[in-house]
Amino acid sequence: MLVCVGGWRAYPNAIVRAFREKIARSGQPGRPRWQVWDTLGIARVIKHTSQAGKQVWQITTQSVRGTPAFIAQQLFVSQGGVEINTAYIERLNATFRERLAVLTRRCRHAARRLEAVQTGMYLVGSVYNFCAVHHALRLPNFENVLSPRSTCRTPAMASGLTDHVWTVAELLTFRVAPPLYVPPKRRGRPPKVRRDDLMLNVPRRCPCPVPNLPPMGPANIENLRPLALTTS
């Protein structure tokens, strides 16, 4: 994955913190360490402007993370152009700011909780990928004259995730399978397990009530402890 950002120095550090995962230490105590994705590439586009900041007189690119060959390969696979650019990420930022009022500048719809922003971005991203038709993803149709000249597609259709354009109602009512249940980790000492060989085997003819005894067999008679039984 390749992420192209502008020249602000805070962008690479924020991206590294976002695309990392915890790796447990094998046989060592302490917290798990964070490891950045191996398939993550970061490139910057730095715009040099005049002192007034109104005119751009030079544009330079820089590879922050990843080799130039890896970045070129990611650009070719994603069809994001030949050179490092921020056109696609800026278009995505504009889409989110247009459809989510929380991300606009100087707005009166500030979110009180981070979960509200994350939920809104997830909804906007899902509608963008499954319900919105993109003109750049159209397929020309030259075989059938009676049909339209091109077939409109969504990013999900172009990726092979679905075969039709979803509606918002279909997206909101789609049932997602829950993840597999993982039992919580027990804390403290493990419970004591009662071993069968330490249990006292009492014959069935014993008048004393001992519930939930294992079945008696002929091989267990020799291991019985002597019991004082009295008969009248």
For the chain, what are the domain ranges? 1-23+34-85, 110-176
* Mean pLDDT, residues 3-23: 89
End-to-end CA distance of the chain: 88
pTM of the model: 0.58
What does the alpha-carbon distance between residue 167 and residue 127 come to, in Å, rounded to a whole number? 8
- Given this model, what pLDDT does residue 214 score? 52
- Average pLDDT score over residue span 71-80: 86
* In contact, 153 and 130? CB cutoff 8 Å: no
Q: How many CB atoms lie within 10 A of CB 71?
A: 20
Q: 3-class SS at 172?
A: helix
pLDDT exceeds 60 at position 196: no
Among 15-19, 132-136, 163-167, 224-228, the range scoring the smallest mean pLDDT is 224-228
Which amino acid type is present at position 61?
T
Contact between 68 and 61 under an 8 Å Cβ cutoff? The reply is no
Lowest mean pLDDT among 67-76, 150-159, 210-219: 210-219
Average pLDDT, whole number, for the chain? 80
pLDDT band at 231 (very low <50, low <70, confident <90, very high): very low
- State how beta strands 134-140 and 41-49 pair: unpaired
User: Is the predicted pLDDT of residue 167 greater than 90, yes or no?
Assistant: yes
Cα distances (Å, whole numbers) of residue 171 to 127, 160, 179, 219: 8, 17, 19, 66
